[in-house]
Structure 1
Amino acid sequence: MTGVLAIEAPTTKTGCAVDRIDDLLFDWYIWSQGYNPGVDYQAFDSSCAQSRTSRQWMDYDEIDAEVEWAIKKGIGKLLDPMIQKLHLPARVAINTAMRNFEAGVEVWSSMRLHGVDLAAEYAQAKAILCPQLVAAGLLTQDACKPAETAL
C-alpha cells in the first residue's frame, strides 16, 4: 500500500533507555517524514473527496498498517505544535535523536548543536514536553520525571 510506512518502534541499540515519550516522539518523527506540504495543485477533486475505495481486498497486514499510520498521524498532529514551540537546539536534538533511533545506532549528529551536549538538550526537551503530553492525554503523570533528574 502506498503512503504507509512499516517502521518499528525505537529500540535500545543507541545505548539509552527508551520510554513512552521516546515512543511518542518517534511516532511524530515518522509522521513528519511522510508529510507532504503540497505540490502546487489540489491533491483531490472536491466532487469526489468523500469517495473511499473498498477494503475488501486488503489483507490483515495492510489494514493493520493503515490503522498504525492513522495512529501516528493523530499523534503527529498533536505533537507537532508542541515541538515547534521549543527553541531551535531542542528541536534539532529531538530530530537527531529520532534519526539515531531509526538507524538503531548513534550515527547522526548536527553542526547546529556544535558544542552543545545532545543528550542533555534532548533530555531537557523531553522534560519540557512531558507536562504538555500529560495535558493532551497522551501520557500519565507518573511518566514524567522531575526536570532535575531528566538532565
Structure 2
Amino acid sequence: MTRQSALVTSEDQALDDLLLEWFRWEAQYSGEKWYSNRDATCGGSASSRQWMSTDDIHEASVDAWQMQQVAAAMEAISGDHALAIRVECRNRLGPGVWRNPRAGLRQPLAYAAAKVAIRPWIVKFGVEY
C-alpha cells in the first residue's frame, strides 16, 4: 500500500484523476474524421447506441463534454504547464521513464504549478471534479 502525503488533499487527487482521464481520452481520440487511428474504410461509421440505456448515453455525452472542456483548459495554459501535465500523466500510465526537459528534477514542482494554473480554467469552463 502506498502512503499518500498529508499535503495531498482530496481536491488535488480529484484533479489528478480528471487530468489522467483527459490524457487517456486524448490519447485515443483522433480529431480528423478520415485520418483516424481506425480503419479508413470505417472512419465515418458509428454505432446505433440502441444497446445503451438512456443513462449510459447521457453519461457518455457528459464525459465527452468534460474532456473537451479540459482540452480547452490545456490550450489556455502555458506550454511549460501543459508539458508538465502531459509528462506526469504519461508516467502514471506506465513505467515512469518520461522526463520533462524543461523542468528536469523539478518535475513534481512543475506539475504542482501546472495544476494551480489549470484549476481556474477548469472551473471557468464549468467542469466539476
Q: TM-score range by the shorter chain?
A: 0.5 to 0.7
Q: Superposition RMSD on alpha carbons, in Å?
A: 3.5
Distance 1:35 1:27 in 2: 12
Deviation of 1:95 (Å): 0.8
Q: Which residue of 1 is the match for residue 68 of structure 2? A: 77
Contact 1:93 1:118 in 2 (8 A): yes
1:36 counterpart = 2:12 = no
Give, as a single letter, the amino acid of the residue that structure 2 aligns with 1:73: A
Shift of the 112–15 alpha-carbon distance from structure 1 to 2, 3 Å rule, reads farther
Amino acid at match of 1:84: E
Q: TM-score scaled to structure 2, two decimals?
A: 0.66
TM-score (norm 1): 0.58
Q: 1:101 aligns with which of 82, 92, 95?
A: 92
Question: Are the equivalent residues in 2 in contact too, given 1:28–1:73 (CA < 8 A)?
Answer: no
Runs of 4+ with deviation above 6 angstroms: none
CA distance in 1, matches of 2:48, 2:74: 32
Asked whether the equivalents of residues 31 and 72 of structure 1 are also in contact (C-alpha less than 8 Å), the reply is: no
Residue 52, structure 1, aligned to residue 48, structure 2: yes
How do residues 1-150 of structure 1 correspond to structure 2 at under 5 angstroms?
17=8, 19-38=13-32, 39-40=34-35, 43-44=43-44, 52-55=48-51, 70-103=61-94, 107-110=96-99, 112-113=101-102, 115=104, 117-139=106-128
Q: Compared with structure 1, are the counterparts of its residues 102 and 13 closer, same or farther at alpha carbon in structure 2 (3 Å cutoff)?
A: farther
Identity of aligned residues (%): 21
Structure 2: state its 5+ residue gaps.
none
Any stretches of 5+ residues in structure 1 without a counterpart?
1-11, 141-151
